[in-house]
């Protein structure tokens, strides 16, 4: 229960601050700026890793949870509760933003600017990089410590800074699901639900190939091994 509550609070903070920065930037006429929005996402993740990393691992992201499970660092029995907690936290955050900014149409929802295929590939690659870093700086299924906080927060800010204008740089199904549901803009939502999960699983294979000798293969039970 403590782990679930930590994920609810951590994901709430991530979505409230991150998408809140997008909404406030629009309301204020660009005062926050795109760079400010990217830094907000990175800094809130860094802060939440320090705050709840020792409790739940500070996944704050269904793709990260699935990635840890694919890497055999998290038991399958814990996955549903983590996913539900993350989605609940994200929905609560967007519900709060709807109350605060009732006239905003998108509430920071992620939408492709160019072709859908372009955003899908971007989201996939961004998540591969993010999950690769997470796996290499985390302990077991937990993102915790100074190294993890700085590394993960920096990667998120960097990726949001250069890819955000094209695909939104979500890398997080819960972060995209909540504003889409609350605002009613479900077009192309599948991109932000599928691409990050696929990217996280591919990152597990890449991480195993780098850390261990030999080539990756799929075992009979579906697990990725090297």
State the Cα–Cα distance between residues 89 and 226, nearest whole angstrom.
35
When divided into structural domains, the chain yields a total of 1
Instruction: Determine the pLDDT at residue 106.
Output: 92
**pLDDT mean over 97-118:** 94
* Mean pLDDT of all residues belonging to the chain: 90
On the question of pLDDT at 146 being above 90, the answer is no
What 3-state class would DSSP assign to 224? Answer: strand
CATH number of the domain where residue 113 is located: 1.20.1080.10
Instruction: Determine the pLDDT at residue 223.
Output: 41
Tell me the pLDDT band of 211, cut-offs 50, 70 and 90. confident
On the question of pLDDT at 80 being above 90, the answer is yes
Antiparallel, parallel or unpaired: β 224-225 and 217-218 = antiparallel
Share of the chain above pLDDT 90, in %: 82
Instruction: Determine the pLDDT at residue 212.
Output: 61
Residue 189 and residue 176 in contact, taking contact as beta carbons nearer than 8 Å: yes
**pLDDT mean over 82-108:** 96
Domain enclosing residue 87, as ranges: 2-225
118: nearest Cα among 185, 52, 56, 188: 188
């Amino acid at each position: 229960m403590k782990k679930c509550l930590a994920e609810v609070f951590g994901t709430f903070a991530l979505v409230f601050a991150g998408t809140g920065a997008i909404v406030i930037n629009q309301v204020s006429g660009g005062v926050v700026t795109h760079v400010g929005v990217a830094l907000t996402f990175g800094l809130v993740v860094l802060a939440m890793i320090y705050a709840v990393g020792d409790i739940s691992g500070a996944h704050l992201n269904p793709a990260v949870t699935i990635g840890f499970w694919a890497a055999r660092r998290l038991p399958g029995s814990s996955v549903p509760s983590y996913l539900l907690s993350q989605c609940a936290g994200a929905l609560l955050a967007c519900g709060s933003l709807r109350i605060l900014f009732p006239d905003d149409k998108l509430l920071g929802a992620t939408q492709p600017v160019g072709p859908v295929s372009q955003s899908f590939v971007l989201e996939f690659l961004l998540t591969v990089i993010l999950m690769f870093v997470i796996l290499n700086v985390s302990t077991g299924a937990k993102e915790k410590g100074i190294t993890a906080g700085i590394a993960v927060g920096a990667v998120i800010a960097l990726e949001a800074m250069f890819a955000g204008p094209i695909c939104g740089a979500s890398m997080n199904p819960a972060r995209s699901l909540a504003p889409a549901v609350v605002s009613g803009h479900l077009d192309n939502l599948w991109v932000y639900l599928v691409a990050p999960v696929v990217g996280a699983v591919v990152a597990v294979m890449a991480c195993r190939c780098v850390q261990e000798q030999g080539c990756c293969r799929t075992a009979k039970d579906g697990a990725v091994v090297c």
